[in-house]
Homo-oligomer: A and B are copies of this chain.
Amino acid sequence: MIRPERDAFGQEIWAYFQGKRAFEVVERDDGFIDISRGAPDYFLPFKKWPKIEKQAIKFAKGKILDVGAGAGRVSLYLQKRGFAVTAIDNSPLAIQVCKKRGVKQAQVLPFEKISIFKTGSFNTVIMFGNNFGLFGSLKKAKTLLRELHRITTPSALIIAETTDPYKTDDPAHLSYQKLNKKRGRLPGQLRIRIRFRNYVGEWFDYLMVAKEEMKKILKDTGWRVKRFIGSEKAKYIAIIEKIRAFREPFHRRNC
């Protein structure tokens, strides 16, 4: 459980929820610092969502897992549309805000701990706002995709948003990608932490991938891309489906 003083992300959401000034500073492990839109975006009502999210959300169905729910904007929208949604986030303060805003099923849970859910629990997994990034690394993504395979129904979908890291001409980002390659990481595998006022979050890996990289990550996990939404800009969303005939390689070898 993240202690409140390390929950920079949650503190920022909590401040904004209380009508106080909120901002989000993102520090990368090469010393690069940036401010992101932060809190206001985590509260965006449906009508102000990016166009690609409005298109992609139409694929949502049945019981839904909202991964990295933040302030609950996606969960609240889906709940209102009549879906049963479970919102998870590793930030206790974010989940507190989700609950106060009316998300019925919201729980503090790091993505790495989704093994607590029973087999076939969800029909849809949503990872909006760059939250494909929560897969962290190639290795972690493979593990978590297999786990997602288990906790979802046979016709389940993952709807995940990311940013193509190569669609930039910023020298600072390009040299960071080089650094990542050199240390054996995916070029878009950002090691970052959130800072807000006196709150400093823990370092974590947030993975940005191009479309071809995403396909490689999905390989041998039982998932494949059904379609991509968005292609002009760096941001895009993948609708990911299960390969029906898929058996885990381990099992196949035992047939």
A-to-B contact residues, CB < 8 Å: 23, 25, 30-35, 172, 195-198, 200
Contact = CB atoms under 8 A, between A and B. Distances in A.
A200 B31 contact: yes
A174 to B, nearest CB: 12
A197 B33 contact: yes
A29 to B, nearest CB: 12
Copies of the protein in its oligomer: 2
A interface secondary structure, majority:
strand
11 contacts: A25-B25, A25-B33, A25-B35, A31-B198, A32-B197, A32-B198, A33-B196, A33-B200, A34-B197, A35-B35, A172-B198
Contacts of A200: 31, 33
Contacts of A197: 32-34, 172
A25 B31 CA distance: 13
A30 B32 CA distance: 20
Nearest to A171: B198
A197 B30 CA distance: 10
Nearest to A176: B198
A8 to B, nearest CB: 9
A196 B30 CA distance: 13
A23 B24 CA distance: 12
A30 B199 CA distance: 11
Contacts of A23: 34-35
A32 B200 CA distance: 9
A198 B30 contact: yes
A197 B34 CA distance: 6
A33 B195 CA distance: 7
A155 to B, nearest CB: 43
Nearest to A33: B195
A23 B37 CA distance: 12
Nearest to A30: B198
